[in-house]
Structure 1
């Protein structure tokens, strides 16, 4: 006979056991909330089901929106990767974070200055564990690496983009492997990087389920190369490329976000985890992205543009059962606002004082509250923009979505009323000159707004070569064949894609100019652009030779050499030749930069030269 020696459980004991079992749950609910920022890469403004895309399947992100707040006027502080990330992590405009443009891929090169105080350092100072997983793109040196910027743990690639299977940098040669874990190079040849990153994210959450943690999950998709999983390629097989591959990449992202949310649910910490989702900039129209794939919907612009499509992007915050759910918020915010907002949602004290972000926590808790943000500023390359309330003014606008033409003269200042028309297809500057002046004043009140940024009326340069015949001798680049701009009497803006420049990659350029009659020539100036973030450098030199019959050229003279090639800022300058010649024909030979020098952006790669006016006096 068997005897049951255990006394029967009374109701009192059952209640005690239930309390003991649930104590970890209560402890997590009362503890500081975990925070995960999911930052996607080159995702278009409307490329989610919850943002209106009818051809993209994104159930997990759409569910995240329903379990929180989806913003319709969420901006990033820069239209390209690195400065956008610097702004997010510091709560500052990129200029104040020390990252004006994309950082260098050169080994050992510096990125975001180490003295910047980051979100990771903020959370670490509050007792959080901090992890970075995915893309970094904020420095190649040890002192600007993730582990030196507040992250206890880091796994991912340091440069702008990689092949997802070989993990080699996808841009410049020679081939550079780019996969690191806590500063040490690691090799997982042939393994799919989005899965490697997803596995690390799930493991990070598992390892820190009992501690408050902050994780920056910087997903490297849908940035080119478009390498979605076969499952999603098959799903979109009927969709024309590149849209099909791009959409498959978004669904690849969504699936992995689903893995993460399921992990949080399984561990019982979903309700104690704040999730922020945002894209770093608009979709890419670069050649490596097959000139598109993404969509900016009703907006003009894409990556690298300060039109809405480059900077107004999907953004969601969800803290399940703690913040309002299924909210669509039309208030104005910028990614620099996440630092103070998250800090206040987590009840932190002693926030950094020198930030540009605004605390949006009250607006998020009470959806009908007006945003404390009423204005914002952007500056990228030659473009700049200011928004104040519903008005937005762009200086030297650039439309990478190619939705319309821009007149270099009349559209140099471009005004829009975003309450009335988000498309920015009509320039209202002539209709509302008083608003233009007010916004120019607003922009100039910003510490980085300069008088030299304001477009001035173009002055036509009259010289011997203006409007004369010019013929190319060496083959031109397919994108730059409008050589008449070299003799139109106008200097180019500080933007290589403005249509005023002739560009060539790694090769020389050569032209013959016919002055119609023999002329006395005393000097020749060649205008050029220096834009190192786009691998554009001054020509090594240029030469001029002269002829009266157009057949025999002699008296070759060489120009001065550029003196500011190592300057990291963008500028326009000129090379000069002084001479005393009598000639009808001038042959101009421009020596391209075959290899970018060491310690420069793109070192070792073929460099570009961009020239505009050839001024003959």
Structure 2
């Protein structure tokens, strides 16, 4: 009888253990790459990129061709992913500061990590953070049991120092404490920490945010991959950029091999996505990546900045070797993964939409039919096939944009994904409809709508202007300073003259001596793009163009203390008789300590110099 009872007990325990194993929630790994272009994988059409492991991941799952992120730069894109909210609601509309102790993702935001943790998951962040430097916005305070990586936007992969100008700052942290792995390759460190976390938590459901910091600059591929691309005849910087993609691919191969060896592959959902388009910044050697058929790159709201490689794979549970043309935004991952894993609902309503049923049945249409984007003064509303951009910026430099006629740029994405032709003039009724939709959005405003440039007649129009200080290489068309037009709130619109870290000074010849009553200097402030208003503006006058005297200080007319982005004017009302004016615009020099670029050279942009 005892033997029979023991047998029944063992059978019961075996059945209980089997049931427990079968009801274990799936693991989730979200792989988020950094500044990866829309066309930079073999499975997305790149013929010069070697990415067999990611291509195999696509074969084992669903590859999206209409998947987007909610912002064209790093921090707000990550905030949207982790909260399921538009960056504006998430409290991170632009990149966060690199200053010690500066805030980022607000503490009150409920993150994907907190959702999984509240449902019994072990949670980890490995790689890049870029969502704040304060304790409140740290990974460990935002739901991650374990965190390893850098807190700022980018690091040198060997010294682990913050990769920007200014004071050298070491930036490698583990669970809130600074750690040192001098000279050790950061991609290898990430892979080791990922391996250890999975091995330690293989019996529990886990959520891993694998925030790979590549192919973001600095381009530092290993000799193995550098030689591979050089031998293939790929030119620089594409060669180093491609080597970084293959470095990512190699680490993902390691990850999948580990899951296979532990028998976890069919128990693990893997999501792969880039945070924004490829960089055309100077530190990225002005490129290296590709946006494929799309226009735009990082910092642009054309498709190339926000429509990016996206894959989901859950072997044995989701369809395999499928290509989805359905609309998806990275805010949708939080509710979608929650549903796939059978988690209790998140605590509050979010902007993301549960698209799990669409993933289970790839023939089903997406519940998402529209979305909004807002970055600086540029904004987008997409509704079905129609997409309207205000103040568009093309960082891929695929075409010219006209200051006035392209201020509102309409595309039909079903017919032309390249966005090279503006349809706004052909479909004014669609433009009007989309503007209405944007202004009804919680974060849209009628003040954001481009207005027709007004011609302002003043004494300096048609005067002679020259620069008395060196100009920046990219901004030498100083005639725009006296053309009677103020620029849109976009430094790249062609109406602005910019300078990095240095002052500007201009000599204006009115051609004859006359009485003036007012002098003004238009300027821009756009902190997200490191643009600050002038420190000071002065003017001196002369009757002969040689002897300048009577220094006058212009006063800032604006009161925008709490605004990060705005246009303003420095002015002085004073009756003066003169022919020549020398106007000096002083740059603050470097970004202040509270700014993300603290210690780096600050930008200054001015447009119209009014003489009335």
Relative to the length of structure 2, the TM-score reads: 0.96
Matching of residues 332-347 of structure 1 within 5 Å? 332-347=327-342
- Is 1:71 the counterpart of 2:64? The answer is yes
Give the structure 2 partner of residue 99 of structure 1. 92
Distance 1:19 1:329 in 2: 44
Give the structure 2 partner of residue 467 of structure 1. 462
Aligned counterpart in structure 2 of residue 281 of structure 1, from 273, 276, 279? 276
Distance 2:490 2:464 in 1: 25
- Is 1:436 the counterpart of 2:431? The answer is yes
Give the structure 1 partner of residue 3 of structure 2. none
Distance 2:241 2:22 in 1: 39
- Is 1:167 the counterpart of 2:160? The answer is yes
Give the structure 2 partner of residue 183 of structure 1. 176
2:557 touches 2:571 (CA, 8 Å); kept in 1? no
2:164 touches 2:600 (CA, 8 Å); kept in 1? no
Distance 1:335 1:302 in 2: 17
1:162 touches 1:168 (CA, 8 Å); kept in 2? yes
Structure 2 CA distance for partners of 1:63 and 1:110, relative to 1, 3 Å: same
1:110 touches 1:140 (CA, 8 Å); kept in 2? yes
- Is 1:612 the counterpart of 2:574? The answer is no
1:28 touches 1:272 (CA, 8 Å); kept in 2? no
Give the structure 2 partner of residue 55 of structure 1. 48
Aligned counterpart in structure 2 of residue 110 of structure 1, from 97, 103, 113? 103
Distance 1:604 1:314 in 2: 34
Give the structure 2 partner of residue 502 of structure 1. 497
2:166 touches 2:598 (CA, 8 Å); kept in 1? no
Aligned counterpart in structure 2 of residue 396 of structure 1, from 391, 394, 419? 391
| TM superposition shift of 1:531 | 1.2
Distance 1:129 1:111 in 2: 24
Matching of residues 32-47 of structure 1 within 5 Å? 32-47=25-40
Aligned with 1:195: secondary structure? helix
Distance 1:153 1:137 in 2: 16
Aligned counterpart in structure 1 of residue 130 of structure 2, from 119, 124, 137? 137
Distance 1:253 1:446 in 2: 38
| TM superposition shift of 1:274 | 0.3
| TM superposition shift of 1:605 | 2.8
1:474 touches 1:510 (CA, 8 Å); kept in 2? yes
Give the structure 1 partner of residue 360 of structure 2. 365
Distance 2:43 2:592 in 1: 47
Matching of residues 151-230 of structure 1 within 5 Å? 151-230=144-223
Distance 1:87 1:498 in 2: 28
User: Which has the higher mean CA deviation after the structures are superposed, 173-182 or 530-539?
Assistant: 530-539
Which digits, 9 at most, give the CA deviation of each residue in 1:390-430, with x for residues without a partner? 11000110000000000010000000000001000000001
Structure 2 spans left out of the alignment, 5+ residues: 1-8
Give the structure 1 partner of residue 112 of structure 2. 119
Give the structure 2 partner of residue 479 of structure 1. 474
2:98 touches 2:595 (CA, 8 Å); kept in 1? no
Which digits, 9 at most, give the CA deviation of each residue in 1:322-357, with x for residues without a partner? 111001000001000000000000111233332001
Give the structure 2 partner of residue 296 of structure 1. 291
Aligned with 2:372: secondary structure? strand
Which digits, 9 at most, give the CA deviation of each residue in 1:463-500, with x for residues without a partner? 11113210000111111111111111111121222221
Structure 2 CA distance for partners of 1:594 and 1:509, relative to 1, 3 Å: same
1:29 touches 1:272 (CA, 8 Å); kept in 2? no
1:227 touches 1:249 (CA, 8 Å); kept in 2? yes
Aligned with 2:555: secondary structure? coil
Give the structure 2 partner of residue 523 of structure 1. 518
- Is 1:350 the counterpart of 2:345? The answer is yes
Give the structure 2 partner of residue 149 of structure 1. 142
| TM superposition shift of 1:22 | 11
Give the structure 2 partner of residue 12 of structure 1. none
Aligned counterpart in structure 1 of residue 24 of structure 2, from 27, 31, 34? 31
Aligned with 1:331: secondary structure? coil
Distance 1:348 1:374 in 2: 25
Structure 2 CA distance for partners of 1:188 and 1:566, relative to 1, 3 Å: farther
1:36 touches 1:214 (CA, 8 Å); kept in 2? yes
User: Which has the higher mean CA deviation after the structures are superposed, 190-199 or 28-37?
Assistant: 28-37
1:395 touches 1:454 (CA, 8 Å); kept in 2? yes
Aligned with 2:203: secondary structure? coil
Distance 2:298 2:279 in 1: 5
RMSD of aligned alpha carbons: 1.8
2:96 touches 2:132 (CA, 8 Å); kept in 1? yes
- Is 1:376 the counterpart of 2:371? The answer is yes
Distance 2:18 2:45 in 1: 37
Aligned counterpart in structure 1 of residue 450 of structure 2, from 447, 455, 458? 455
Distance 1:408 1:18 in 2: 77
Distance 2:86 2:70 in 1: 6
User: Which has the higher mean CA deviation after the structures are superposed, 461-470 or 273-282?
Assistant: 461-470
2:39 touches 2:309 (CA, 8 Å); kept in 1? yes
Distance 1:68 1:600 in 2: 41
Structure 1 spans left out of the alignment, 5+ residues: 1-15
Distance 1:52 1:566 in 2: 48
